[in-house]
């Protein structure tokens, strides 16, 4: 098969096509002929040598795919073969064939194209787990999301609105703020021209937001806590602004705030399967009803993976970037 490999740590140009042996599904696995593969920030970090694949995972980038199951390993129902699925994978998505686990696959309904299906798993699993499971978000609450037009940000907007939340996002330009509002955000703050912390307090009549989904960290953390309501929850999923933060713990205690965070890729297969089960019950009916679909940016050919990474790192994309793998 043809795959896009990382020849050495570095910029987008180190993504190079290779011929690889066809993967063989082991017990409890399926082999998927890949139609499309999603592009995510962790792919760029892995390419740069800053986010190594976990033990046992493919060294190829790519954490989400859509495609057709073509063979199954021992212990997997033979009826899985032939199904159109989208899947969260631990790596290997930038290839014509990819190993997945059936419990991490979701059926592709008629409401989604295969390109859209490939753009769902990583963002949906991440948002569901962090906003709703760890952040304990509830209907009627206010959610603050940084990076409102990213793949994660756009999914957070759409999912939160379907669960009757109010959504405030931050973006880096007025144009992106307008795009976020078009996607469904109630308010969008240009962090280059406004103090988002003060603006959130104004928008909530001084009460603050109930949940923060933060992918910046660094000096954003205390600013997030300053506009987080009493009993609010702060959830970190990335540290693009730095891994260290200085926090006023006395104020956190006074407001009974909770801080948590997570990374998805290194979690166990069993854990990811439990998240997939809950998504299938609670969210997938909304996808099947065409009430939830990913915000799509641009589709690149697999051979143009380097250009896809360049677009992501330029920060101009709105929504998901996807690679078309199947001819």
Nearest to 3 by CA among 42, 66, 61: 61
Across the range 218-231, mean pLDDT stands at 97
What is the residue extent of each domain of the chain? 2-120+265-324, 126-261
Look at residue 27 in the predicted model and tell me its pLDDT.
97
pLDDT tens digits for range 276-292: 999 999 999 999 999 99
Mean pLDDT of all residues belonging to the chain: 97
Q: What is the mean pLDDT of residues 176-203?
A: 98
Coil, helix or strand at residue 129: helix
The region of weakest confidence among 22-36, 44-58, 157-171 is: 44-58
What is the pLDDT at residue 279? 98
CATH code: domain 2-120+265-324 is 3.90.180.10
Q: What's the whole-model pTM score?
A: 0.95
Quick check: 212 pLDDT over 90? yes
- What torsion, rounded to 10 degrees, do the Cα atoms 308, 309, 314, 316 define? 40
Whether pLDDT at 327 is above 80: no
Are residues 299 and 38 in contact, defined by beta-carbon separation less than 8 angstroms?
no
Superfamily of domain 126-261: NAD(P)-binding Rossmann-like Domain (3.40.50.720)
- The tens digit of pLDDT for each residue in 190-202 reads 999 999 999 999 9
Calpha distance 307→293 (Å, rounded) = 24
Q: What percent of the chain has pLDDT over 90?
A: 98
Q: Are 84 and 68 in contact (CB under 8 A)?
A: yes
> pLDDT (tens digit, 9 = 90+) per residue, 146-172?
999 999 999 999 999 999 999 999 999
Q: How far apart are CA 132 and CA 136, in angstroms?
A: 5
In whole angstroms, how large is the CA radius of gyration of the chain?
20
């Amino acid at each position: 098969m043809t795959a896009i490999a990382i020849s050495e740590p570095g910029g987008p140009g180190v993504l190079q096509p290779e011929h690889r042996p066809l993967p063989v599904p082991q017990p409890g696995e399926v082999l998927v002929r890949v139609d499309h593969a999603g592009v995510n920030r962790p792919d760029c970090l892995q390419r740069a040598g800053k986010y190594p694949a976990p033990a046992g995972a493919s060294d190829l980038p790519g954490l989400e795919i859509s495609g057709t199951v073509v063979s199954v390993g021992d212990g997997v129902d033979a009826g899985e073969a032939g199904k159109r699925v989208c899947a969260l994978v631990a790596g290997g998505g930038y290839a014509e064939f990819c190993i997945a686990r059936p419990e991490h696959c979701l059926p592709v309904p008629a409401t989604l194209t295969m390109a859209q299906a490939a753009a769902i798993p990583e963002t949906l699993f991440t948002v569901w787990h962090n906003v709703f499971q760890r952040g304990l978000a509830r209907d009627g609450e206010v959610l603050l999301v940084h990076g409102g037009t990213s793949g994660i940000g756009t999914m957070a907007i759409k999912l939160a609105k379907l669960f009757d939340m109010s959504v405030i996002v931050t973006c880096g330009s007025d144009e992106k703020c307008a795009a976020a509002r078009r996607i469904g955000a109630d308010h969008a703050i240009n962090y280059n021209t406004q103090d988002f912390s003060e603006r959130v307090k104004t928008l909530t009549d001084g009460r603050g937001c109930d949940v923060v989904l933060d992918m910046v960290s660094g000096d954003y953390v205390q600013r997030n806590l300053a506009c987080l309501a009493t009993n609010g929850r702060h959830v970190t999923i990335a540290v693009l602004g730095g891994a260290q933060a200085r926090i006023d713990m006395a104020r956190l205690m006074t407001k009974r705030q909770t801080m948590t965070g997570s990374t998805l890729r290194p979690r166990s297969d069993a854990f990811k399967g439990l998240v997939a089960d809950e998504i299938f019950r609670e969210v997938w009916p909304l996808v099947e009803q065409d009430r939830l679909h990913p915000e799509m940016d641009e589709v690149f050919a697999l051979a143009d993976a380097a250009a896809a990474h360049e677009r992501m790192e330029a920060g101009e994309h709105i929504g998901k970037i996807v690679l078309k793998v199947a001819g």
